[in-house]
Structures are given as C-alpha cells and as structure tokens.
Amino acid sequence: MFSSRRMRQTILPPGPTPQASDQSSSAHSRSARNQQATTGRTPTASDRGQWWLLSLLFFILLSTATRAQQPDFQATDSLLRTLANQYHWAALDSVGRVQLRLGLDYPALRRRLGQAALAQDRPAAAINHYGRALRENPLDTTARYGLALAYLGLNQPGPAALIGRGLPDSLRRPLHLNGFQLVSRVELEGTAQFPNTSHRGTAGFFRLGLGTRLSPRFTLSQNLSFFGQDIELPGFQRRRRGERYLVRQTQYHALLNAQLAPRWRALLGYHYLNSDFGRTENTHNYLAYAALAYARPYWAAQAGFYAGSLTDTARSQTDLRLTIYPLGNLRLYGFGQASVVRSGGRSFPHGLLGAGGRLHQRLWLEAYGGLGQVPVLAELDGLYIYNLFDPLRARAGASLLLLLPRQLSLRLSYGAERRRDAISVGRYNLHSLSTALAWTW
C-alpha cells in the first residue's frame, strides 16, 4: 500500500502499509523489480515437454507416500530440486504442501516453498516459509535474501532492512537496504483545493519531504510544508471590516521510525505549526506523537496517540489502524482507521475505510471514505493535520500511484470533503487535486 493519503487535507488516508509514508512507493518499486530476479525465467516450450514426466513422478510419489504414511526424503528432495530447476512453481508448491501434511519438514523444503510462493506473487506465504527456514538455520543466506524480498513484496521495508543486515553487500545494495544514508528519499507535493462557498477562497498546499536511513533499524523523515487560503474572518478578527484575509500556515514534521523486531515497530513524531489566523500575532501550535505497530504476513495493526496544543486549545487524538491482505499480496488490500479526538472537554469520533490494489505491474489504485465530525484531525503519523476554522464532517477520495524509471514515482490524487462553515454554520463541499513526485535511492 502505497503511501495512502499523502495530501494534506484531502489526500488519501493511512493505507496499506502501515509503514512510514515516505518509504512505501519505493518499496513497491523494489518489489516489482526484485520479484523478477527471484522467479527466474518463464518455462519454455522444451520445458513443457518434461512436464508430463514430472507430473507422473509426483503422483507416483504421492501415492506411495500416502500408502506408507512415511514420506521418502531423498525422493521428495530430488523431485523438488527438479521442479525448481524447471521453474514449475505450482507443481513444486503442491508437492511441498503434501509433504508438510505428511510430516516431512526441513529447511531446504521451506526455502524452495518460499521461492515458489514469491514466483507466484504470494509474498505473505513466502514470509512464513523463508522465516521458518531462517529460524532453523540463521546462516542460510538464500533464506535471508528471500525473506527480505518477501517483506518488500508486502511494502514493508523496515523488516526487510532488519533482516538484510546479515546479507553480503552485493545482495543488500540492489535492494536499497543500505546502512547509513543521509538522503534516501526526496518528495515534492503540491495541492490545490476548491471550496464551493463565498466565505472561503481557493487554497494551496506545498510540501518538501526528506528521508534519512540512520541504520538498518532506524529511519528519520522530515517534512516542511506551507498552506495558504483566502477566508472571510469572523467580525471580531477582521483587521478591517469586510475584508478577506490570507490565512498562512507553515509546518515542520519529523518522524523517527524504529524497527524493534521484524514484527514490531515503534514511532515517535513531532509536528510544529506556525499559524496566522488574522490575529496581530501568530499562534504557535504543536503535536507530539507515539505509536506501536505489529505486523503479520496477512495483516498489520497500529495504535497511536497524539497530544499537544492547536489554536490555543489542548487537543489529543487516539488512533487504531488495521490493514489486511486477503490474497497475501498487494493485488488487493483493505484498511481502516478509527480515531477519537478530544477537544474542549468533548470527544469526536471519526472512522475511515478504504481498499486498494494493483492494476498493473507499475500502477496502483486506492480509494477511501471517512465519516464523523472532528474539529481537528492528524493523519499519517502526524504528517498531515487539519487545523482550520471549519470542522470536517465527511470525506472520500482516490489515488493513483505510478512507478517510473530511475527510482521515480508519481502520485495523482483527488479528494472531496464535506465541511461545516464556522461563520454561517452552513455546510459546503471542498474538492482537492494533488500530485507528488518522489525520488528514492
């Protein structure tokens, strides 16, 4: 899941991969390239000539093992090796699963099953098989490399980098799993927003993001953004009666990502906002953030908490995210988030549901919808913060991610929101268009 919800205000919500948002599209790109390296070549016409013989051997082996209830290790290993050499991944997977049911389980079998799972675009199953093989033999470089590829195939670069620490440089560098890297990612994003009310003018948002890999376990992302919009201020805030005023907001966001273990991840963040809401002095706002995430091959969950001050009011927010991969890959995934904002002594719930999938080897589509009125809302680990006069009531949107050559990715997003006008207490719609270009090294 690519960095679902990159846009401020109406871009996509936290999506499939609950990893740090500045790494997701690069992980998509790496998984698309590296899957080809793992699967090998496509079977040729001459290979198909041997398929009937291999199938016959498989059924003879299955029949013999079923009668005896004791699988033959040498015959099984020889057949699996032959199937792997001929790139018959479906047959290899069938033979291997039968042997597991019969009680035959050893590292080489798991390693070949992991290879077959990756070749069939099933990275979740590959994580299970390669993980088992690596636990049995921590020095198995092939299993370690395959496990790193499987994590990248699910857009989880954090566990991949942690697993890849034990790989030789010649294998780790092509996967972009280096140790320290001062600049590992640069992203530029621009957004235009169009409200259908006379009290609010067209808004613009710009963001520059930088990623740094501190070590295989730690990454740091930093973002500097600017937001501007013409609005009609309430009477007591107008500097000159009847005039519209340009709201300006400058923001800085930092997020430290710590991969504690392949399944566990911790995040610490800070977001500072300097806002001008038509007052004689700017307001200084901030939110601190902490989260803990747990990931399994077919699902991932994350719980987070924000606390700070926005527009001179103490605010807090509690989030719970869940992402599922029903097919064990990125061809289809679903995600949801439940948020409760605490402000002014009241609680404001907000829920979001979405789904996404791969349309092509280099093209992903994602859509979402959210409901629940909130005065402020922080998203994507604090990267985007709603901090305007008008409360958010409902939203929906869609986004396309396109992987380009030379480590580039392009994201195009559309969003629609329903807001409550803080001046007239009426409701209006806000439409947003966004584009983001990212370079990953």
Cβ atoms of 22 and 361 within 8 Å: the answer is: no
The per-residue pLDDT of the chain, averaged, comes to 84
19 vs 361: which has the higher pLDDT:
361
Task: Decide if pLDDT at 6 tops 60.
Answer: no
The pLDDT value given to residue 305: 98
Task: Decide if pLDDT at 268 tops 80.
Answer: yes
Over residues 58-73, mean pLDDT: 56
Task: Decide if pLDDT at 379 tops 80.
Answer: yes
Q: Which of 376, 335, 370 is nearest to 350 (CA)?
A: 370
Task: Decide if pLDDT at 274 tops 50.
Answer: yes
The pLDDT value given to residue 235: 57
**Residue 309 amino acid letter:** S
The pLDDT value given to residue 36: 45
Task: Decide if pLDDT at 37 tops 80.
Answer: no
High-pLDDT (> 70) share of the chain, %: 79
**CA 48 and chain centroid, separation:** 39
Confidence of residue 50 (pLDDT cuts 50, 70, 90): low
Q: Could you write out the DSSP letters of every residue in 370-431?
A: EEEEES-EEETTTTEEE-SSSPEEEEEEEEEEEEETTTEEEEEEEEEEEEE-TTT--EEEEE
Cβ atoms of 192 and 208 within 8 Å: the answer is: no
Cβ neighbourhood burial of 3 (10 Å; 0-12, 13-18, 19+)? buried
The pLDDT value given to residue 150: 95
The pLDDT value given to residue 54: 55
Over residues 418-437, mean pLDDT: 90
Over residues 63-78, mean pLDDT: 65
Over residues 79-91, mean pLDDT: 89
CA dist., res. 185 & res. 440, Å (int): 4
42 vs 159: which has the higher pLDDT:
159
Confidence of residue 233 (pLDDT cuts 50, 70, 90): low
**Residue 259 amino acid letter:** Q
171-205 tens-digit pLDDT: 988 888 888 999 999 999 999 999 998 888 899 99
Task: Decide if pLDDT at 422 tops 60.
Answer: yes
- The architecture that CATH gives domain 179-440 is Beta Barrel (2.40)
High-pLDDT (> 90) share of the chain, %: 59
The pLDDT value given to residue 341: 96
Task: Decide if pLDDT at 316 tops 90.
Answer: yes
CA dist., res. 19 & res. 21, Å (int): 6
The pLDDT value given to residue 60: 53
> Where exactly are the structural domains of the chain?
33-175, 179-440
128-167 tens-digit pLDDT: 999 999 999 999 999 999 999 999 999 899 999 999 998 9
Q: Which of 359, 325, 364 is nearest to 126 (CA)?
A: 325
Q: Are strands 264-276 and 313-324 parallel, antiparallel or unpaired?
A: unpaired
Cβ atoms of 163 and 339 within 8 Å: the answer is: no
CA dist., res. 264 & res. 67, Å (int): 44
Q: Which of 45, 19, 65 is nearest to 185 (CA)?
A: 19
Tokens 């963040």 — which residue? 269
Q: Which of 71, 63, 112 is nearest to 92 (CA)?
A: 112
Over residues 334-358, mean pLDDT: 96
Phi, then psi, of 160 in degrees rounded to 5: -60, -40
Over residues 322-341, mean pLDDT: 96
Class of domain 33-175 as given by CATH: mainly alpha
The pLDDT value given to residue 247: 83
Beta bridge partners of 194: 431
Q: Which of 373, 381, 349, 385 is nearest to 421 (CA)?
A: 373
Number of H helices, E strands in the chain: 10, 16
- Residue 108: half-sphere exposure toward Cβ, Cα within 13 Å: 9
CA dist., res. 441 & res. 375, Å (int): 38
Task: Decide if pLDDT at 4 tops 50.
Answer: no
Lowest mean pLDDT among 45-59, 303-317, 325-339, 368-382: 45-59
Task: Decide if pLDDT at 84 tops 80.
Answer: yes
Confidence of residue 2 (pLDDT cuts 50, 70, 90): low
CA dist., res. 104 & res. 111, Å (int): 14
The pLDDT value given to residue 417: 95
